[in-house]
Chains A and B, each alone.
Chain A
């Protein structure tokens, strides 16, 4: 189903990108599901479709922005830069960039997936990818809302925990994903 994945080596060299038709099959499956709901519960289905149209309308400018960011990324960012700042040997600086990037990233996550896919294909560490996604839970301009509802000490503990666990989660995910890919490779070789 998910055939649109980049295949990348640890050194960040892009090997292959298959055409992503899996997404269209996914859309077809969801449309079929909606059709079933439409037959069983027409009123509920109408409510859902109204919600869908409203959300899509709000997201439309995001698509334009997403295309612009992707275009600029492909035009100006190169593999060497990614490897230096977010690659295997980026070290402590890589963690700082990934966590701060997640915190300052704005907008829908859909905006960020294609960019992260590009970064990954160009050699971004898996652990830093996770740290970026995890630290998105902190939004500095919105923290006053949290302080208002939960108080200052809660907000400090929350932010500290998110930063700490973005690193823990990143390291563990990287270890498991690498192990899975090594196991899968050795399984294929043994066939």
Chain B
């Protein structure tokens, strides 16, 4: 493409209109999301300090089902990068927590987002967010038992 052709295309009203429109659309999405992100972070800041305490008081180790439910519950509340769940799960496994509980924690960490629910509902729809999170919670338990079961069979 020659320089003049490129200049004409950049200066064409359609491209400048598209640029303005896309900036406006991006700003509008950011305006919708910003208060929800700030609110979610504030809510997370109230909850996160309690998570290590939940683990310390011995919520794990009662039975496989309770371990799975606790893992899925803690993972569902916690929000963060998947790698944090890998590291936390690995450390919990080393400290004697069952594989079912740890797997539930790792899976729920990303797939279930209780704290993120308001953001997800605003951005993707209320029915979608509630349904997706409920199903993800259920599947977290199933995956935890399947994975632990297969590992048990493999020895």
User: Which residue of the partner chain, among B44, B90, B128, contacts A173 with CB atoms under 8 Å?
Assistant: B128
Residue in chain B with minimal CB distance to A49: B45
User: Which residue of the partner chain, among A24, A118, A133, A165, contacts B139 with CB atoms under 8 Å?
Assistant: A165
A interface, size bucket: 35 or more
Assembled-state Cα–Cα distance A56/B31 (Å): 17
Residue in chain A with minimal CB distance to B155: A153
Contact A181 B147 (CB under 8 A): no
Given the interface contacts A145-B86, A149-B89, does A75 sit within 8 Å of B22 by beta carbon? yes
User: Which residue of the partner chain, among A72, A129, A153, contacts B128 with CB atoms under 8 Å?
Assistant: A129
Given the interface contacts A2-B121, A117-B123, A145-B86, does A137 sit within 8 Å of B107 by beta carbon? yes
User: Which residue of the partner chain, among A110, A149, A173, contacts B135 with CB atoms under 8 Å?
Assistant: A173
Taking CB atoms, residues of chain A closer than 8 Å to B44 are: 52, 55
Contact A27 B45 (CB under 8 A): no
Residue in chain A with minimal CB distance to B126: A2
B interface, size bucket: 35 or more
Contact B122 A161 (CB under 8 A): no
Residue in chain B with minimal CB distance to A166: B111
CB of B5 to closest CB in A, whole Å: 19
Taking CB atoms, residues of chain A closer than 8 Å to B151 are: 153-154, 157
Given the interface contacts A71-B22, A139-B83, does A109 sit within 8 Å of B116 by beta carbon? yes
**Chain B residues in the interface with A (C-beta under 8 A):** 18-19, 21-23, 25-46, 48-49, 79, 81-83, 86-87, 89-91, 93-94, 103, 106-107, 109-111, 113, 116, 118-128, 131-132, 135-136, 139, 142-143, 146-147, 150-151, 154
**Chain A residues in the interface with B (C-beta under 8 A):** 1-2, 4-5, 17, 19-20, 22-24, 26-27, 29-31, 33-34, 37, 44, 47-49, 51-52, 55-56, 59, 63, 66-67, 70-75, 108-110, 113-114, 116-118, 120, 126, 129-130, 133-134, 136-139, 142, 145-146, 148-150, 153-154, 157-158, 161-162, 165, 168-169, 172-173, 176-177, 180-181
Q: Given contacts A70-B25, A149-B89, list 6 more A-B pairs with CB under 8 A.
A: A5-B126, A19-B32, A29-B39, A129-B124, A137-B110, A177-B128
